[in-house]
């Protein structure tokens, strides 16, 4: 039987101890037992997000948390800013359009970070702008946004800062309160190493004021309902019970190991992956200065189809990496994630498999050079 190693930026691998949690019989959610779990999960999420703000759980994939943020913060005709440096930045704009919200787009070349001054100019020119939507780790390109710098320009304006941290959560530092982030959206199936099904939204008091007056249509994702029930440690609807219970276990790791150590661990995996790519004579897609530690986006050499590389790795050798997204990157890059349940040997397997496939496709390099370079970093 073939292995099935996921080095994809969501879903990520579920470690055996969490598979065991997910396999447990269901309990009812209106019970002290579930209430205790929900309380611990909310506390655990706040710990990772370094925040005192409210956290609400939803039953959806990550995009549901993004939609909840949009629908609750602004009304039809309101003005907002969306930062687009990749596929997920574009999703903010698409969601705003769906709700009739007037999004001014700050386009960022793919692979680069946003210049916060561009956001400042727009905010200075128009005090009616309600929100600024950005992406923490832009998973389509492998860039991490300097959220602190964006927070510095948004904090003294009437606008709120909304961050899609779906792939960055628990992998890369996000100091919600210190960096003046008002809303964070994330989900269970990336850094938290579980099945998709739970998303969550972290909301500041400044943002909640907007949520109370938004006229956007909403029912299931109405965060006013979520807040009201969360005051009694409850949810308005049936939560994804099994995943919430497993989150209780998944989140323990952050307190036991410490946030700094966890972020450092992924940074090391990223460093090894980058060193391997370079040793193979390959280049990296994003600028060095804003490269994400959650995933590494590697340019596929001229004349080789990245989609083919990805498919052979997956279908012949059982190792999944992600291909490129959008017209800009399809077939041109592969993306190797280092989030959740991944260790050095998983990365080494991925690199050795990449080497094997590149060799098969006729790319010239010294076999083993990538693995050796990564090993060197891992042994530092
Ligand atoms: C995965 C991802 C999403 C989408 O999440 P779904 O769970 O597929 O809805 C959104 N934003 C970013 C940055 C992501 O990595």
DSSP 143: E
Q: How far apart are CA 49 and CA 165, in angstroms?
A: 10
Residue 98 tokens read as 């769906």
Report the pLDDT value the prediction gives residue 1, as an integer from 0 to 100: 66
> What is the DSSP annotation of 196-211?
SEEEEEEE-HHHHHHH
Task: Please tell me whether residues 67 and 159 are part of one structural domain.
Answer: yes
Q: Which atom of ligand 1 is nearest to the CA of 167?
A: 15
Task: Please tell me whether residues 224 and 271 are part of one structural domain.
Answer: no
- Cα–Cα separations (whole angstroms), residue 77 to 71, 82, 99, 211: 12, 15, 9, 15
Decide: 323 in ligand 1 pocket, CB within 6 A.
no
Decide: 89 in ligand 1 pocket, CB within 6 A.
no
Query: Each residue of 53-80: pLDDT tens digit?
Result: 999 999 999 999 999 999 999 999 999 9
CA of 354 to the centre of ligand 1 (A): 25
CA of 258 to the centre of ligand 1 (A): 25
Report the pLDDT value the prediction gives residue 3, as an integer from 0 to 100: 81
Among 375, 361, 338, which residue's Cα sits nearest to residue 190? 338
Q: Which domain holds residue 276?
A: 5-10+258-378
Decide: 10 in ligand 1 pocket, CB within 6 A.
yes
- pTM for this one? 0.98
Q: Which atom of ligand 1 is nearest to the CA of 189?
A: 7
Q: Structural domain tally of the chain?
A: 2
Task: Please tell me whether residues 275 and 213 are part of one structural domain.
Answer: no
> Within 13 Å, how many C-alpha atoms sit on residue 99's CB side?
27
- Among 164, 170, 193, 292, the mutation site with the greatest number of ligand 1 atoms within 8 A of its Cβ is 164
CATH code, 57: 3.40.640.10
CA of 90 to the centre of ligand 1 (A): 12
Mean pLDDT computed over every residue of the chain: 97
Query: 256, 277, 302: which is the final residue of a domain?
Result: 256
Task: Please tell me whether residues 203 and 337 are part of one structural domain.
Answer: no
Query: Each residue of 277-312: pLDDT tens digit?
Result: 999 999 999 999 999 999 999 999 999 999 999 999
2 pLDDT above the threshold of 80:
no
């Amino acid at each position: 039987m073939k292995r099935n190693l996921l080095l994809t930026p969501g879903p990520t691998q579920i470690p055996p101890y969490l598979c065991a949690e997910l396999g447990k019989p269901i309990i009812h959610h209106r019970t002290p037992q579930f209430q205790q779990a929900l309380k611990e999960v909310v506390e655990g999420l706040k710990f990772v997000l370094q925040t005192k703000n409210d956290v609400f759980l939803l039953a959806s994939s990550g995009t549901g948390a993004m939609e909840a943020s949009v629908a609750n913060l602004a009304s039809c005709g309101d003005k907002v800013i969306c930062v687009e440096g990749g596929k997920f930045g574009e999703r903010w704009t698409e969601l705003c359009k769906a709700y009739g919200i007037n999004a001014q787009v700050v386009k960022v070349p793919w692979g680069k970070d946003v210049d916060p001054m561009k956001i400042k100019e727009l905010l200075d020119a128009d005090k009616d702008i309600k929100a600024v939507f950005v992406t923490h780790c832009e998973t389509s390109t492998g860039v991490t946004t300097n959220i602190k710098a964006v927070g510095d320009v948004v904090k003294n304006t009437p606008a709120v800062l909304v961050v899609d941290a779906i792939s960055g959560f628990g992998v890369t530092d996000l100091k919600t309160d210190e960096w003046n982030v008002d809303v964070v959206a994330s989900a269970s199936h990336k850094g938290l190493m579980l099945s998709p099904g739970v998303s969550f939204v972290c909301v500041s008091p400044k943002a909640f004021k907007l949520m109370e007056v938004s006229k956007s249509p909403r029912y299931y994702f109405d965060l006013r309902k979520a807040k009201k029930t969360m005051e009694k440690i409850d949810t308005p609807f049936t939560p994804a019970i099994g995943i919430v219970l497993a989150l209780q276990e998944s989140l323990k790791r952050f307190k036991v190991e410490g946030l700094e150590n966890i972020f450092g661990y992924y940074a090391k995996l990223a460093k090894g992956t980058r060193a391997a790519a370079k040793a193979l004579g390959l280049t990296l897609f994003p600028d060095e200065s804003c490269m994400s530690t959650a995933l590494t986006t590697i340019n596929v050499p001229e004349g080789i189809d990245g989609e083919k590389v990805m498919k052979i790795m997956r279908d012949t050798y059982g190792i999944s990496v992600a291909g490129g997204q959008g017209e800009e990157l399809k077939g041109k890059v592969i993306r190797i994630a280092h989030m959740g349940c991944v260790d050095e040997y998983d990365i080494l397997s991925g690199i050795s498999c990449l080497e094997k496939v590149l060799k098969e496709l006729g790319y010239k390099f010294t076999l083993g050079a990538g693995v050796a370079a990564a090993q060197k970093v891992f042994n530092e």
